[in-house]
Amino acid sequence: MRAIILKEPGQFDFIEQEDIKAEKGKAIVKIKRIGICGTDYHAFKGDQPFFTYPRVLGHELGGEIVSISENGIKHSLKIGDKVAIEPYLNCGACQACDAGHINCCENIQVIGVHSDGGMAEYISIPINKIHKSERLSFDQLALVETLGIGLHAVNRANVKSGEKVLIIGAGPIGLGVAQFSKLKGATVCMADISKSRLDFIEKIGLSDKSIQVTGKLEEADLKNVLDGDLPSVVIDATGNKNSMLNTFNLLAHGGRLVFVGLFQGDVTFFDPNFHKRELTLLASRNCLPGDFKEIISLIEEGVIDTNPWLSHRTSFEDMPNKFETFLEPGQEVIKAIIEL
Ligand SMILES: [Zn+2]
Ligand SMILES: [Zn+2]
């Protein structure tokens, strides 16, 4: 079978791999769509922390089951099912797994990151990591994981109806966070450096207010657009150190702060500022199996419109040529999808 391997930063190659053999408890999925995300761009540029080469990327996957190797575990999958793949392989034996926090398993292996992923014709995947839908298109199935990151972050913040939520970073993760904050009934204020991104998100109805960030975001900027209030929830989806350190100054007293983006370094804050506001700081990592199920139903019911997400696409054959163009800011890529 063919796969595309990232040999080293900046260099994709097609390779011929041995055909996948059936393994008990796993299904073989024929890959139909692969979403490209920030992690892939960082791996390509060579600045993704703890990343090793060569690696087959691809963790946002939509495909079709071609074989199932039973191991006695009950499931409702069958050959021909259209499926989304949950790419977080957890160990099932650590303290986090025992407690149900399988999204942050101590020994987590994310396919396409820690082990080879789905930028290939086929992938073998544990049956319990496969989520089917009779109604979603392959494009939509490949978007479920990205949306899951947003849903998990919003669940971490426990966003409630009527709350004012500030989302910093209007990339795909921020867009997902906005989607689910709106569904919870929050007033969403989006902040980003890109005016066109802010306009786009407001136009599709996923934000109520926008702030174009030119320097450091100040309390006054927020009070201006939030009728004199500060947000009770701030979700940072930038992964930018300066942005993240500044968020401690932007919250209402009693507020919750979620870091969905991350950077390599120390998060520091002035404790009296943290205490006087009685802030809650939360990290958000990956998402849970229930998030996959919920998102699939929301798309099936037409509650989530996936059209705005699908901004760019390429064939599998063309991917190595096209990949770099998706990094150009002028392209305004929301989500690029590879088609097989
Ligand atoms: Zn991703
Ligand atoms: Zn574990």
Ligand 1 center from residue 199 Cα (angstroms): 24
Give yes or no: residues 315 and 233 share one domain: no
Same domain, 124 and 54: yes
Q: Is residue 157 part of a domain?
A: yes
Instruction: Give the closest ligand to the alpha carbon of residue 94.
Output: 2
Residues 92 and 35 in one domain: yes
128 & 154 share domain: no
CATH of the domain at 57: 3.90.180.10
Q: Is the CB of residue 87 less than 8 Å from the CB of residue 68?
A: no
| Domain annotation covers residue 326 | yes
Same domain, 278 and 333: no
Structural domain range at position 317: 2-132+306-339
**In this structure, is residue 141 part of a structural domain?**
no
Are 31 and 61 spatial neighbours (Cβ–Cβ below 8 Å)?
A: yes
CATH number at residue 254: 3.40.50.720
260/222 same-domain check: yes
d(CA 214, CA 105) in angstroms, rounded, equals 38
In this structure, the answer to whether residues 108 and 165 fall within a common structural domain is: no
pLDDT at 50: 79
- Domain boundary residue, one of 248, 268, 283: 283
Task: Tell me, yes or no, whether 300 lies in a domain.
Answer: no
| Number of separate domains in the chain | 2
Report the first-to-last Cα separation within the chain, whole angstroms: 13
Residues 155, 41, single domain; the answer is no
Instruction: Verify that 216 and 91 share a domain, yes or no.
Output: no
Specify which residues 310 forms β-bridges with.
Answer: 335
Interval between CA 279 and ligand 1 midpoint (Å) = 29
Q: What is the pLDDT of residue 328?
A: 86
Q: Ligand nearest 100 Cα, by number? A: 2
Q: Do 189 and 81 fall into the same domain?
A: no
Alpha helix ranges (H) inside the chain: 38-45, 95-98, 138-157, 172-183, 195-203, 219-225, 241-246, 271-276, 289-300, 319-322
Cβ neighbours of residue 241 closer than 8 Å, sequence gap 6 or more:
263, 265
- Tell me, yes or no, whether 289 lies in a domain: no
Gap between the Cα atoms of 275 and 16, Å rounded: 57
* Residue 285 CA, ligand 2 centroid: distance in Å: 14
pLDDT of amino acid 49: 78
Split the chain (340 residues) into runs of 10 and give each run's mean pLDDT: 97 95 95 95 89 96 97 93 98 98 97 96 97 98 97 98 98 96 98 95 97 95 97 97 97 98 93 97 98 98 95 96 90 93
Confidence at residue 110, expressed as pLDDT on a 0 to 100 scale: 96
The answer to whether position 301 is within a domain reads: no
- Whether residue 145 lies inside any domain: the answer is no
Ligand nearest 35 Cα, by number?
1
Considering every ligand atom shown, identify the ligand nearest to the alpha carbon of residue 142 and give its number. 1
Claim to verify: residue 255 and residue 316 sit in the same structural domain: no
User: Is residue 85 located within the same domain as residue 21?
Assistant: yes
pLDDT at 22: 86
Instruction: Give domain status of residue 294, yes or no.
Output: no
- Which ligand sits nearest to residue 102's alpha carbon? 2
Q: What is the pLDDT of residue 323?
A: 95
